Amino acid sequence: MMAEKDWLYRAMVAAGDDPDAPQRVRVEHRGDRAVVILDEPRRLNVLSAPLVRQLRRALTDLEADPDVRSVVLTGADPGFSAGGDLQMMDAAIEQLGAAEGAADIWRWIRREFGGIARLIAGSDTIFVAALNGAAAGVGLAWALTCDLVIASEHAVIVPAFGRLGLLPEVGTSWALTQRLGYQGALAYYLRGEHLDARAAQRLGLVQEVVAHDRLAEAADEWCTRIAALPPHAVAMTKPLLRAAADADWAGALTLEEFAEPVCFTTAAFADSVRSMLS
């Protein structure tokens, strides 16, 4: 019999890892890049236990593959992700009176939702979120954690947390304040209004908006830009810029000063300098 302690978390993990669970994540390998597709379109790619656990395994494998330099994260049409699974939320509410109360829910939020966000942010691989439709909740959080966000004209940013009585979650508070400032982030939360792709681009939440049928092509173009640069340069620039975002000017300058000499030791840098001198 399963112990009362953390039984809900263990039950959700077991459901996600069930070998008979339907495949909710597809991975397409394309040389130095991969496309990861959230694939339960009937429910707008809601974050069920199988989808979350399958996504985590897929991203872990891709992040560990030295030949994969970029990963595109997208959804099966018509949506990117509707966010958290309401059925799972209801099950969690029913167990709030158990021995560990909210601590059991915390495990799932931190280890699974947060674990994927930390993997994306902490990896040297570049992650491109390609928003093909509505993006809400933790699905939106993962997209905003990616290194680039591009969107089709069908994309919609959905701030669902407020109307559910929740907070900006899984790194969303950081992403929103970074891009919108405190007052802008608070206004976004209080309004709770859906943002279309162009509005999201004006606010800096999205870097590029393209026709819906060009989204995959546009994502691939970003992967080609990544592939065109020396691997060490992109891999080192990602953690540098992420650290600089939280540093003051002097701290950012110091980070750059320590990182730059390493680039001088690479053949790619030497070859570039010599070709420009010849």
Per-residue pLDDT of the chain (278 residues; tens, 9 = 90+): 344 566 778 888 888 889 999 999 999 999 999 999 999 999 999 999 999 999 999 999 999 999 999 999 999 999 999 987 777 777 767 666 666 666 777 888 889 999 999 999 999 999 999 999 999 999 999 999 999 999 999 999 998 777 777 788 888 889 999 999 999 999 998 998 899 999 999 999 999 999 999 999 999 999 999 999 999 999 999 999 999 888 888 888 787 777 878 777 888 878 887 888 88
Distance, C-alpha 206 to centroid of its chain = 13
40: tokens are 């339960």
The H-assigned helical ranges of the chain are 7-17, 49-64, 86-94, 102-107, 114-122, 137-145, 172-191, 197-202, 215-228, 231-244, 249-264, 267-277
Q: Crossing angle, helix 49-64 and helix 7-17, to 10 degrees?
A: 70
Strand order, beta sheet including 134-136: 134-136, 156-158, 195-196
Give the residues across from 71 on adjacent strands: 34, 127
Among candidate residues 29, 25, 33, the one with its CA nearest the CA of residue 55: 25
38: tokens are 């959230």
- What's the confidence (pLDDT) of residue 80? 97
The H-assigned helical ranges of 101-196 are 102-107, 114-122, 137-145, 172-191
- What's the confidence (pLDDT) of residue 146? 97
First to last CA, the chain: 74
Pairing of strands 148-152, 25-30: unpaired
The structure's pTM equals 0.90
Where are the domain boundaries for CATH 3.90.226.10 in the chain?
7-228
Give the angle 189-191-196 at the CA atoms, nearest 5°.
90
- What's the confidence (pLDDT) of residue 1? 39
Tell the CATH superfamily of the 7-228 domain: 2-enoyl-CoA Hydratase; Chain A, domain 1 (3.90.226.10)
The answer to whether the beta carbons of residues 238 and 182 sit under 8 Å apart is no
Q: Is there a cis peptide before residue 50, judged by omega within 30 degrees of 0?
A: no
